[in-house]
Structure 1
Amino acid sequence: MSALSVNFGTASRPNRRLPRRILAILAEHDGMSAAELAASVYDARLVTRRGWHRTAPPSRLWATRRALRRLVRSGRVTVIGSYRRRRLFALTDPALPRLDLEATE
């Protein structure tokens, strides 16, 4: 049983590959528990399949939220609901056109 970890970097040296890593995690676990995993990634936690977690520092939480906001704005990830007051994310199907966020607001 291995933990799914995300390297968030630090405040002075942020991880520029964070959005790519989030997309990879979502794609890898899409069939299993993508919604709950994405909610945990959003809250900057390390997650195992049995649900053990460890909270990350606030700077990592902010970096994750910022990266996910960019992914949602670009249309690569969409918010599909909420679970225990956390947002749930899913990958946008690459076959579909990009989301027009201004038209939905």
Structure 2
Amino acid sequence: MSALSVSFGTASRPNRRLPRRILAILAEHDGMSAAELAASVYDARLVTRRGWHRTAPPPRLWATRRALRRLVGSGRVTVIGSYRRRRLFALADHPALPQLDLEATE
């Protein structure tokens, strides 16, 4: 998928392919932030550079966040944790992150 194949859409005609592409990426990789998803969706390559700010231009990040809010509201995507105040998203059927067993590490 090229970077031009996913268009922004407009207020009267929203981008219908963006949620599908987000779900496809989350099916392969769990625990991605909105910035990583935005860069991965629009650049057609997987971007997992935690700590980098502005991995995608702000309008693309806003569109991705809006699509994620709708997917979370519909129950198809869930928040599984956070990393440096950024929420990490995964598909809703993703098992919960295991709790750290401190007794096993002693």
TM-score, normalization: structure 1?
Answer: 0.57
More strand by share: 1
* Bigger Cα Rg: 2
- Quick check: 1:47–1:53 contact (8 Å CA) kept in 2? no
- Quick check: 1:4–1:47 contact (8 Å CA) kept in 2? no
RMSD between aligned residues? 8.9
Could you tell me the percent identity over the aligned residues? Answer: 95
Partner of 2:18: 18
TM-score, normalization: structure 2?
Answer: 0.56
Q: Structure 1 stretches of 5 or more lacking a match?
A: none
- Quick check: 2:8–2:15 contact (8 Å CA) kept in 1? yes
- Quick check: 1:75–1:100 contact (8 Å CA) kept in 2? no
- CA offsets, 1:45-64, max 9 Å, x none? 96158998862211111100
- Quick check: 2:36–2:48 contact (8 Å CA) kept in 1? no
Q: Structure 2 stretches of 5 or more lacking a match?
A: none
Match of 1:63, SS state, is helix
More helix by share: 1
- Farther-moved stretch of structure 1 (92-101 vs 19-28): 92-101
